[in-house]
Amino acid sequence: MASSRKKVSQRAYLTGDNSKSVGPAADGAVEYQLLNTGGEVHKTFRFDPTSPGGHMFAQFGFVTKVGNVANSVLNGDEPGSIDDAATDIEEFLQSIANGTWREPGESRARGPKYDKAVLAYVLFAGRSAEKRTGEWADEATVLARLEDKSFYAKVRNNAAAMAAYHAEMAKRGESAGTKTVDDLD
């Protein structure tokens, strides 16, 4: 069912040179544009986080964002555990510490979708024969283990595992998003 709420605003994150950013920029500002009933900008409000009050907004934004991350994990379509929520919060805070804000829609429920069967294949194939026991005994066991959100997040954050996944997808003539470079037009 479509929402009956009308759009009342648009937001723009800006970099230090006032160009648009996908999300908050370390040296930037933000604009909130209040729209009139015709959808045109009625008034623009600009906020520079280095201005007086910036710390208050930052504190409020911190608890709001961290709360949103936890809520999306714990109360989403496929609720995760408290450990999943803590992992997502830690990952988000680390991305901020690294100067990167997640792009819109990039979270546990809406992030890139990976073919778990291919992921299980590369994880199993990447294990040495003597380590293919227990939770690593066969591809089906590894695939089942990928349903654990904490493990799946750990795998997605492992550069070697994801490099092997993308290499396998390329070998199969597939990719996570586009089929060929020509599709980027």
Q: What is the DSSP string of 59-70?
A: HHHHHHHHHHHH
Q: How far, in Å, CA of 112 to CA of 107, rounded?
A: 9
- Asked, for residue 144, whether it belongs to a domain, the answer is yes
Domain residue limits at 128: 116-177
Give pLDDT tens digits along the chain (185 positions). Answer: 445 567 888 888 888 888 888 777 777 888 888 988 888 889 988 888 888 888 888 888 889 888 988 888 888 777 888 988 899 889 888 888 877 776 444 444 445 578 888 999 999 888 877 888 888 888 898 888 888 888 888 888 888 888 888 888 888 876 554 445 555 45
pLDDT score, position 4: 58
Decide if 103 contacts 22 (C-beta within 8 A). yes
Q: Give yes or no: residues 41 and 59 share one domain.
A: no
Task: Tell me which H or E stretch contains 20.
Answer: strand 20-21
pLDDT score, position 112: 59
Structural domains counted in the chain: 3
- Asked, for residue 105, whether it belongs to a domain, the answer is no
Strands (E), the chain: 9-14, 20-21, 29-35, 41-47
Q: How far, in Å, CA of 120 to CA of 136, rounded?
A: 10
Q: Give yes or no: residues 87 and 37 share one domain.
A: no
- Asked, for residue 184, whether it belongs to a domain, the answer is no
Q: Give yes or no: residues 68 and 23 share one domain.
A: no
